[in-house]
Amino acid sequence: MKTSRTKLAPATRRLVTEVYGRLDYGALGPVYCYEGGDEFWRAKRGLCNRLGSRVAVVLRRKLGRGGRSLYVGAGVAELPPLIMEMMELDRTVEPYNLRRAEVGALNRACHSIPRSMRLMRPARRADSIISGWPAC
């Protein structure tokens, strides 16, 4: 698949847009903000998508096809890179997050990702995965 050096592939962009559209920002408000979560997401939703997509484009140039990536503390802004790695580079991603409410909201929004995996995992389950990774 031919992709632009400055944009995500159309199928990836569509999936990212679908996932962002399904996110329960009401549930995510208290995860990201002690108060004013609704206003925060009204102002930052598009910014998170744009920033995450820029990171995804840079990662696509740096990462090879196949392989795996570990995301610690993955959240809303990491969705575009996670989706890009799976869709465009056929990589295995291992995203973890400590906040159960965020994990639940992200998983509910990501049900259409065409992989047989839950997108996010609670960080307490990372021990077995991390112990199998080679040391740097």
State pTM to two decimals. 0.82
Q: What tens-digit pLDDT sequence spans the chain (136 residues)?
A: 455 667 999 999 999 999 999 999 999 998 888 888 888 888 988 999 999 999 999 999 999 999 988 888 889 999 999 999 999 999 988 888 888 888 889 888 988 776 644 466 666 655 555 555 554 4
* Tokens 């997401």 found at: 41
The residue extents of the domains of the chain are 10-130
Backbone angles phi, psi at 116, to 5 degrees: -90, 70
β partners of residue 4: none
How would you label 104-129 residue by residue, b for 16+ Cβ within 10 Å and e otherwise? Answer: ebbeebbeebeeeeebbbebeebeee
